[in-house]
């Protein structure tokens, strides 16, 4: 591990000033950043530890029914907040389907949004990676590409964004609150992460020194609470990143869908909102043919980035299944195996 400075600012302003220097990085739960540092994947010259900054640790209910989640709220605390889980069950389910209990106890909301890709070549410091070293090339191309993206990738980078939490959030129109040298701003999560294009090293719209201070969910997001699910396919039953995942939310009135939200995970460089697919569902009945049509729309632009064509079909099926699960109704209790197809829900496959 390289030598680095460690600072623990007392205020936002101090934090932002300290992190604006080149080579500085914020440290929150450290579950991602410290691993990367130990592997030499990132080598920050200065760690700005915000984990004790006051004012970032609360879940606040807003007057209009929305919620504001401080950037330092732990993943576990948020998922287990009863009021939060009641209004946003799929977000809680997504959180609990991620990582392990120990990691969720440590990981923060802000850190989850900014966790780096799990591309094996990003971790393999001996190989070329445009994210680690802009312009070096992308060794993932032509290599082991099972986990690579099928949507939104470019010739320069085919990596996926690994977060589960973000998929549910982006489906529900979450907004990221950011503080920087020029004050505070709010950015919809959908526009927060960037596609790789020619600059895969630029992963978000954050400017140097900018700090995530909160994530907001609008009141409308809770209006889906009766028909909202997160579904995650993985190589083992728990403690694995998604091979592909989907969040689906429906508002159903008199047998017809009046509002729909769909997002995909594990298949794109960012949490992937499928707006066109959502539109195909407005006004139709909640049944499998419509869900299949929506799924097809969600994957219309998908193309393999290597040996991963199966993910297109798989993602299609996950979207259709997540919609069917959402239509069947949010379970009264969070399943013991969150977001797993093995959480028993009778009759779902035949919905």
Name the residue nearer to another protein (CB basis): 15 or 298: 298
DSSP 311-329: HHHHHHHHHHHHHHHHHH-
Q: Which of ligand SF4, ligand FAD, another protein, none is residue 209 near (CB under 5 to 8 Å by kind)?
A: none
Q: Nearer Cβ to ligand FAD, position 101 or 256? A: 101
- Pseudo-torsion of CA 270, 330, 85, 63, nearest 10°? 90
How many angstroms separate the Cα of 166 from the Cα of each of 20, 30, 93, 197, 272?
25, 18, 12, 21, 9
Q: Based on the number of CB atoms within 10 Å of its own CB, is 129 exposed (0-12), middle (13-18) or buried (19 or more)?
A: buried
Question: From the CB of 244, what's the least distance to ligand SF4, in Å?
Answer: 17
Cα 334 to chain centroid, rounded: 19
Q: What residue 159 binds from ligand FAD, another protein, ligand SF4, none (CB within 5 to 8 A, per partner kind)? A: ligand SF4
Do 147 and 120 meet the contact criterion of CB atoms below 8 Å apart? yes
313 contacts: CB under 8 Å, gap ≥ 6: none
Q: Choose which of 85, 92, 129, 325 interacts with ligand SF4 (CB under 6 A).
A: 129
Pairing of strands 256-265, 24-27: unpaired
Asked if 98 touches ligand FAD (CB under 6 A), the answer is yes
Contact with another protein (CB under 8 A): which of 10, 13, 275, 310?
310
- In the region spanning residues 110 to 129, those forming contacts with another protein, defined by CB under 8 A, are 118, 120-121, 123-127
3-state helix, strand, coil in the chain (%, to 5): 30, 20, 50
The reply on whether position 26 binds ligand FAD by CB under 6 A is: yes
142-181: which residues touch ligand FAD (CB under 6 A)?
162-165
Residue 322 · residue 230 · CB < 8 Å: yes
| Residue 286 in tokens | 């909640």
| Of residues 231-250, those binding ligand FAD (CB under 6 A) | 241
| Long-range Cβ contact pairs of 202-210 (< 8 A, separation 24 or more) | 203/114, 203/116, 203/131, 204/113, 204/114, 206/114, 206/178, 207/180, 207/181, 208/19, 208/20, 208/22, 208/24, 209/16, 209/17, 209/19, 209/20, 209/24, 209/180, 209/181, 210/16, 210/178, 210/179, 210/180
Q: Is 190 in the site for ligand SF4 (CB under 6 A)?
A: no
Which option in ligand FAD, another protein, ligand SF4, none does residue 267 bind, with CB closer than 5 to 8 A by kind? none
Report the DSSP pairing between strands 67-70 and 59-61. Answer: antiparallel
- Choose among ligand SF4, another protein, ligand FAD, none what residue 84 binds, the Cβ cut-off being 5 to 8 Å by kind: none
Site string for ligand SF4, 94-123 (x = CB under 6 A): -----------------------x-x-xx-
Q: Within 19-78, which residues bind another protein (CB under 8 A)?
A: 38-40
Nearest distance from C-beta of residue 101 to ligand SF4, angstroms: 28
Q: Please choose, out of 40-48, 79-87, 156-164, 327-335, the segment that lies near ligand SF4 by the rule CB under 6 A.
A: 156-164
112 binds ligand FAD (CB under 6 A): yes
Site residues, another protein (CB under 8 A): 1-3, 38-40, 118, 120-121, 123-127, 139, 142-144, 146, 233-240, 243, 292, 310, 313-314, 317-318, 321, 337, 340-342, 344-350
Site residues, ligand SF4 (CB under 6 A): 117, 119, 121-122, 129-131, 138-140, 157-159, 200
Site residues, ligand FAD (CB under 6 A): 25-33, 35, 50, 71, 98-99, 103, 106-108, 110-112, 114-115, 162-165, 211-212, 241
């Amino acid at each position: 591990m390289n030598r680095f400075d460690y600072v623990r600012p007392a205020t936002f302003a101090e934090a932002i000033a300290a992190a604006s220097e080149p080579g500085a990085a914020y440290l929150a739960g450290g579950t991602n950043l410290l691993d990367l540092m130990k592997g030499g994947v990132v080598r920050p010259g200065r760690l700005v530890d915000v984990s004790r900054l006051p004012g970032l640790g609360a879940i606040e209910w807003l007057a209009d029914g929305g919620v504001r989640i401080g950037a330092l709220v732990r993943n576990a605390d948020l998922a287990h907040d009863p009021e939060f889980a009641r209004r946003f069950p799929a977000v809680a389910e997504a959180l609990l389907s991620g990582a392990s209990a120990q990691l969720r106890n440590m990981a923060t909301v802000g850190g989850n949004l900014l966790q780096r890709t799990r591309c094996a070549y990003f971790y393999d410091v001996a190989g070329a990676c445009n994210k680690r070293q802009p312009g070096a090339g992308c060794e993932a191309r032509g290599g082991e590409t099972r986990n690579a993206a099928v949507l939104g990738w470019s010739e320069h980078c085919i990596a996926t964004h690994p977060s589960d939490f973000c998929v549910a959030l982006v489906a529900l129109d979450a907004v990221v609150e950011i503080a920087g040298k020029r004050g505070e701003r709010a950015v919809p999560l959908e526009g927060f992460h960037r596609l790789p294009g020619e600059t895969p090293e630029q992963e978000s719209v954050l400017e140097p020194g900018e700090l995530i201070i909160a994530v907001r969910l609008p009141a409308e997001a809770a209006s889906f609470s009766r028909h909202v699910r997160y579904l995650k396919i993985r190589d083992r039953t728990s403690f694995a990143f998604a091979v592909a995942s989907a969040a689906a939310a429906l508002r159903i009135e008199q047998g017809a869908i009046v509002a729909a939200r769909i997002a995909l995970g594990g298949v794109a460089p960012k949490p992937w909102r499928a707006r066109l697919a959502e539109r195909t569902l407005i006004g139709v009945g909640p049944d499998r043919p419509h869900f299949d049509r929506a799924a097809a729309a969600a994957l219309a632009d998908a193309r393999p980035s290597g040996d991963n064509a199966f993910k297109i079909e798989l993602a299609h099926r996950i979207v259709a299944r997540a919609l069917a699960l959402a239509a069947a109704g949010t379970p009264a209790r969070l399943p013991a195996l969150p977001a797993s197809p093995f959480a028993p829900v009778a009759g779902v496959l035949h919905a």
